[in-house]
Every structure is written in C-alpha cells, then in structure tokens.
Amino acid sequence: MAISEEKSRQIQDERRRQILDAALRLFDEQGYSNTKISDISEMAGISKGLVYRYFRSKEEIFFALRDKLDDCIDECFSVPSALEAIRLFSLRLLSYPYYNEYVPPLRVYFSVLVRGEIRLDTEENPIRENFGREYFGALFQRGQEQGVFKDGDSRLFGDMYWKYLLGCLATICQPGRKMEYRPDVDEVLELFRK
C-alpha cells in the first residue's frame, strides 16, 4: 500500500528535523569544522546517503539552521514579561552545556562566524551590529513600559546588554574549551532595573 502525500511530507519533515537537530548539537559541541556529515548521520540515526538526499553539503545544513535561530528569537520575544524574555534568551544562549536541554542556534552561528569557518554577507548575519539595538532595545522599551527598567535610551540599553552577551560568548566559544557555564544574568540585568 502506498503512503499518502501528507504522510510522505510528515516523514520528510521529521527526517529533516532529525538532521538539523543532530547538526546543531554537533556544531555546538565539536565545532563546525570538526563535524563530518557521517557524524551528523550517526547522531541522527540515519544513513549518510539519506542526509545527502535532504542537503547537498554541510554548509547547506548550517544555513538551514537559520529557521531554528529565527524561531528562538521569536519565541523569546513573545514572552509577555520583557525581563523574562531577556532572561530566557540569555540563559539559552550562554548556559553550557544546555539550559533545559535547549541547544542555542545563535551560539552555533556565533562560534562558526568568529572562527571564520563560514563567511556571511551582512544581511545574512544574524549577529549583525544593530541586533542589540533592535531586538534587545525593543525588549528594554517594553520593560520600561512595564515599569521594570529605568528610564533612558532603550536602544542603548539593548546595545550594551548585547555586547555583554557577545563578550560572554567569546569566552565560552573558544576552540577546545569545554567548561560548564551557568551565567548570572540577573546580576547584569539589575544594572538596568528601577
């Protein structure tokens, strides 16, 4: 009996998710350059040939992770409390090994870009210069409206906080560095609180 088109699509979506989940974890734990397609297929529990059926290269897998990154950014932003949205984003990004088993796609992007393993145009780069001013600036503004954060330039607050996060990332994403890290983001966020 042939499977329906819908069932076939579900299977394809599940396989793609398996590959991307495995790649994300391996890129974070081993680094992009040290991860082979065979590592990804092994962790995903599928054949190497099947990986190539869905993705032509390891680089294509890396770029497909952008959807996971966008989902993370949107999910954190949708948290009603600005303070909790910032905390969730920060803990997911900085906790090592993982915060609630969440593998942070932004950390993977950051480490790959900082190590120069892949080049991205400015438009494709999720950690472009104005990310802090735009993303965190909007959250700080929401927090000001909620009465949580001090008055002031919310975009500047966002930029300062983003640069703090980048500094932490630079520390934990050094090649070969395997350490447990649980950031105290509340201590830093206290600087912005009323």
Beta-carbon count within 10 A of 81 CB: 14
Q: What's the one-letter identity of residue 89?
A: F
H helix runs in the chain, sequence order:
5-30, 37-44, 48-54, 58-64, 66-77, 82-94, 105-114, 131, 137-145, 154-172, 185-189
CA–CA separation, 153 and 151 (whole Å): 7
Q: Record the pTM.
A: 0.84
Q: Give pLDDT tens digits along the chain (194 positions).
A: 567 888 888 888 899 999 999 999 999 888 899 999 999 999 999 999 999 999 999 999 998 998 888 898 999 999 999 999 999 999 888 887 777 788 888 888 888 887 778 877 656 666 667 889 999 999 999 999 999 999 999 999 999 999 999 888 887 776 666 667 777 899 999 999 99
Please say whether the beta carbons of 126 and 106 come within 8 A.
Answer: yes
Beta-carbon count within 10 A of 176 CB: 6
Q: What is the pLDDT of residue 5?
A: 85
Q: Which two tokens stand for residue 18?
A: 């398996």
**Quick one: DSSP state of residue 150?**
-
Residue 96's SS3 state is strand
The answer to whether the Cα torsion of 78, 81, 86, 92 is positive or negative is: negative
Cα-only R_g, the chain: 19
